[in-house]
Structure 1
Amino acid sequence: KRVAVIGGGNSGVEAAIDLAGIVAHVTLIEFDSQLRADDVLQRKLRSLPNVRIVTSAQTTEVLGDGNKVNGLVYKDRTGGDTHRVELEGIFVQIGLLPNTEWLKGVVALSPRGEIVVDDRGQTSVPGVFAAGDATTVPYKQIVIAMGEGSKAALSAFDHLIRTSAPVATPDAVAA
């Protein structure tokens, strides 16, 4: 199959590298005039024979037959020409910042605005847990977020049973 990845940051380039190993051809489309991914990832991507990189491109249309995708159209941002790419799949990897503005001053946030969590999903506030793409956990993937959500829920439950247990009194012990 032929696929496109939209986005030239780390997420997009990593997706393109992964896909290049299992599909016939990958077209990576980036809005900016250059990729923003780490240099090591860009070098790896450029070394792959079945990858085409298109920069300064604005995706304008996804094409399909009513049942499945069969192409996309992008506009060259420097010359204004439009181009059609025939393909069977599109992966959007534009990497948005997390919607955590409302948490500023409540829990610790990373410079990117991600909620800082430990290996149990605990935030900087005791008893407050977080999971998913808005946290500092790497690999923003659904399956990772699901596992992290389960872990945070179990950690929250453990926290609750340990902190809300009644203090044993002599009467309670005798009963």
Structure 2
Amino acid sequence: YCPHCDGPFFKGKDVAVIGGGNSGVEAALDLAGIVKSVTIYEFMPELKADKVLVEQAKKRENITILRNVATKEILAEGGKVVALAYEDRDSGEIKRQELSGIFVQIGLVPNSGFLEGIVEMNAYGEVIVDAKGQTDVPGIFACGDVTTVPYKQIVIAMGEGAKASLAAFDYLLMQG
């Protein structure tokens, strides 16, 4: 899922990026310097990414942009991706593209609904935390991708979890 972490495994290969927003086009641009080719699959008729990113993607000879397509199936053999089946939403035709890897960049929805009205959240539903993972409610800490901490990566979530647990421990010591 991470073009920075996993991209080098696909050096010289054909890959797909699903999603034409900023994160998808940024992923395609990052991957274009490593892989043989990148195809961006966008469900909507137009990319949602910022104009400057779209212009950069169009300049790259090894980036292809497919608009108004719906991903249908990831095809694998021996546990490895070999192709992607997708529907051309204009014609309804199902097509297949041979490739070696797929990077899904369609955005994140934090699993924070159960905290509605309990702690402060931003417009995206992310829990707002300080540098120690403390929410606006004393004694409630949060960490990981559900928070406002940038760079939604496993290693960052793990570090934030360690930090929040240490801060919670300190909080409990001060209460005792």
In the alignment, is residue 10 of structure 1 matched against residue 13 of structure 2?
no
Give the TM-score, by structure 1 length.
Answer: 0.86
Counterpart secondary structure, 1:133: helix
Partner AA of 2:149 in structure 1: V
Cα pair distance change 1:158/1:46, threshold 3 Å: farther
Partner AA of 1:25 in structure 2: S
Counterpart secondary structure, 1:22: coil
Shift of 1:155: 1.4
Give the TM-score, by structure 2 length.
Answer: 0.86
Shift of 1:113: 0.7
Cα pair distance change 1:41/1:149, threshold 3 Å: farther
In the alignment, is residue 107 of structure 1 matched against residue 143 of structure 2?
no
Shift of 1:61: 1.4
Cα pair distance change 1:24/1:107, threshold 3 Å: same
Aligned length, in residue pairs = 164
CA RMSD of aligned residues (A): 1.5
Counterpart secondary structure, 2:57: helix
Whole-Å Cα distance in 2 between the matches of residues 92 and 38 of structure 1?
Answer: 18
Which aligned segments of 4 or more residues in structure 1 are displaced greater than 6 angstroms? none
Cα pair distance change 1:43/1:147, threshold 3 Å: farther
Q: Which runs of 5+ in 1 are unaligned?
A: 165-175
Whole-Å Cα distance in 1 between the matches of residues 164 and 49 of structure 2?
Answer: 30
In the alignment, is residue 155 of structure 1 matched against residue 170 of structure 2?
no
Whole-Å Cα distance in 1 between the matches of residues 91 and 37 of structure 2?
Answer: 25
Instruction: Indicate which of 76, 80, 84 corresponds to 1:68.
Output: 80
Instruction: State the match for 1:90 in structure 2.
Output: 102
Instruction: State the match for 2:154 in structure 1.
Output: 142
Shift of 1:115: 0.5
Instruction: State the match for 1:21 in structure 2.
Output: 33
Counterpart secondary structure, 1:126: coil
Partner AA of 2:132 in structure 1: R
Whole-Å Cα distance in 1 between the matches of residues 124 and 86 of structure 2?
Answer: 29
Rg (Cα) greater in structure: 1
Whole-Å Cα distance in 2 between the matches of residues 92 and 160 of structure 1?
Answer: 40
In the alignment, is residue 49 of structure 1 matched against residue 58 of structure 2?
no
Shift of 1:72: 0.5
